[in-house]
Amino acid sequence: MQNMIVNYLAPRAVHACAVGSSALVGLFLVVASSVHAAPLPDFTELVKDNEAAVVNISTVGEAPRRMNPGGPRSDQLEEFFRRFGPPQQRENQPRLRPRSLGSGFVIESDGYILTNNHVVDGAEKIMVRLSNREEYEAELVGTDPRSDLALLKVSADKKLPALTMGDSDKLEVGEWVLAIGSPFGFDYSVTAGIVSAKGRSLSNPQTGNYVPFIQTDVAINPGNSGGPLFNLDGEVVGINSQIYSNSGGFMGVSFAIPIEMAMDVVSQLKDKGRVSRGWLGVEILEVSRDLALSYGLQRPHGALVARVMEGSPAADAGLQEEDIIIEFNGQDIERSGELPQYVGRAPVGEPSRLTVMRSGKKKKLSVTIGELPEQASLTTTPRQSAQDNKIGLTFRDLSEQAKEQLGIDGGVEVITARGLAGEAGLMPRDIILRMRTKPVVDSEALDDIIADVKPGSIVPVLVLRQQRRIFLTLKVPEDD
């Protein structure tokens, strides 16, 4: 290998410098000295000091299967064989209770543990395993699906090692970071990389745009979810949560929840068991270059108001459609996805300052921020169907306001879809409009339709999903 390097470099060095061998040696010394002056970081002490506070999390429950960084590898294989295995295997394979492998970490020595919501979502039982292989059954203190966070508590007869929280606001792009977790169930695996970007907004129908993600190139895979992201001082600056992937595996882009946001969620979950966020009550769009020019902006920035919800804080403040929000409480809005992050963290019930572009002129508004509704005001108190109906579906009525907003006369919202309903492709927050060619006016009507479903039948289901209508088919097996 050394000969290859010399043969490749020597001719070029001689050609460029036209010097003898002594000068060439000097050139190599300068290069070696430069490399020595900026060594790669040594993570060994960081790992030794902190790995004991990182935990492995396994769950047993009936949560829907999903492909995500915290998803169970065994469930992915089971799903593969169920779909693509030999027919006999598909028919005879027993249904395993889903078992999820994820990560988490101790934030307080009295047993509080932080992880991702998707790691424990729908679990009947949550088990936490420490680095010394001690296991505890964890209590679920609370969850916040919008930030994808969950707070657990274990009762141990001793103080547990806890991690030190850092300041993710001080992170710099290009800074080294390190992750510890359990990818594919391989406990306490360590991976490292750099911060690639900050404040990333990831559009997600379930979580919205409330998390300003830290983007890194740290290798994150299924099982890493919920694990800590450290800076070089051994402080937690983020919680590994998502990856961008076409294959389900790591492709060089991963995302972590900033620890400041996570600890605010922890504080609210401990105090009141839920998380409240600010709510403005607008639908917004990105400002393109052409839109910026047409609205009198010198460059594309801000959030274009596409709709102001009736009775919302925005409506009360006088915000109008086609306003472009360019500043919120002194923070410039460069991209539309930044606005929900700022509004979500704003104090509920207190005035906030808005700067908008309206008809080519700047206008300042004061708005009293409301509290973000649990389902964005689309549903009333749930009237839930029986948990054990024969297709595995639970659902609730829509409010009149929701039906008006969606432009429909009837329908019900899916809460959970398991069993036959899950296999048909139904998902939480789907709106069922028709089933078995009959209109689904409300929950009572859907209960009647489900009760009349015959074994061996194929049932068409018309669904409204993210403003788009699709048909699904529910296949009911023959009775044994």
Catalytic residues: 118, 148, 225
Q: Nearest Cα to 284, choosing from 353, 354, 218?
A: 354
| Long-range contacts of the stretch 293-301 (C-beta < 8 A, 24+) | 295/322, 295/324, 295/357, 295/360, 296/357, 296/359, 296/360, 296/361, 297/324, 297/326, 297/357, 301/326, 301/332, 301/333, 301/334, 301/335
Strand pairing partners for 113?
Answer: 106, 152
- Helices marked H in 305-410 — which ranges? 313-317, 338-345, 400-406
Q: How far is CA 379 from the centre of its chain?
A: 23
Give exposure, 235-252, as e/b (b: 16+ Cβ within 10 Å): bbbbbbbbbebeeeebee
Cα gap 382→414, rounded to integer Å: 11
Cα gap 365→372, rounded to integer Å: 20
Q: Where are the beta strands (DSSP E) in 297-444?
A: 303-308, 324-328, 331-332, 351-358, 361-368, 370-371, 393-397, 412-417, 431-435, 438-439
Cα gap 241→227, rounded to integer Å: 8
Q: Nearest Cα to 221, choosing from 254, 177, 172?
A: 254
Interior CA angle at 84 toward 79 and 89, to 5°? 85
CB atoms within 10 A of CB 18: 8
CA–CA distances in Å: residue 248 to residues 15, 73, 197: 49, 11, 21
| One-letter amino acid of 297 | L
The answer to whether 320 touches 358, Cβ cutoff 8 Å, is yes
CA–CA distances in Å: residue 327 to residues 324, 356, 357, 362: 9, 7, 10, 10
Cα gap 287→296, rounded to integer Å: 12
- For the chain, first and last CA: distance in Å? 68
Question: What residues have CB less than 8 Å from 320, skipping those under 6 apart?
Answer: 305, 308, 358
Q: Are strands 324-328 and 303-308 parallel, antiparallel or unpaired?
A: antiparallel
Q: Where are the beta strands (DSSP E) in 23-157?
A: 54-61, 99-108, 112-116, 123-129, 135-137, 139-144, 149-153
